[in-house]
Every structure is written in structure tokens, then in C-alpha cells.
Amino acid sequence: MKNNRGNLEDYPDILEAKDLAEYLNIGPRKALDLCHEKDFPAKRIGKCYKISKAGLQRWLDKNVGKLG
């Protein structure tokens, strides 16, 4: 999977799981796994997960180096 956008600022304020996968350069299944994590800033709306860009940045700042 290739990140077609350079920075998080290039994404909309509310991301979907596919945007998350693209930005983090991970697969769609891993993106959904992150959305299910208790401390991850995602909300389920219907069948879709929505992720706040600001919340994602805070989560990344807090968890950098912990992903594996």
C-alpha cells in the first residue's frame, strides 16, 4: 500500500479506516484492528469507523514506538 499523500494535514479532518491504512501504510485489516482498540480515537457510525485527525495525532504522539 502506498501513501499517496505526504502529511496528515493532506487528509480530511475526519478520516475513514481506508485513510488510516493509507496514512500509516498498513493493511485495511490492521486499520480496523486499531479502530477496535479501547484507547484509539475512532467512533463507529453505522458500519463505518470515523477517526478524528486531531485525535489520531494525539494518539500517535502518545504511542509512537509502541506499534509493532
Extents of the domains making up the chain: 8-63
Pick the CATH number of 8-63 from 1.10.10, 3.30.70, 1.10.3470, 3.30.420: 1.10.10
Phi, psi (rounded to 5 degrees) for 27: -75, 165
- Is pLDDT of 67 > 60? no
Q: Over the stretch 41-62, which tens digit does the pLDDT of each residue have?
A: 999 999 999 999 999 999 999 9
Please state the pTM of the whole predicted model.
0.83
Listed in sequence order, the residues at least 6 apart from 8 whose beta carbon sits closer than 8 Å to its beta carbon are 23, 53, 56, 57
Q: Over the stretch 4-40, which tens digit does the pLDDT of each residue have?
A: 667 999 999 999 999 999 999 999 999 999 999 999 9
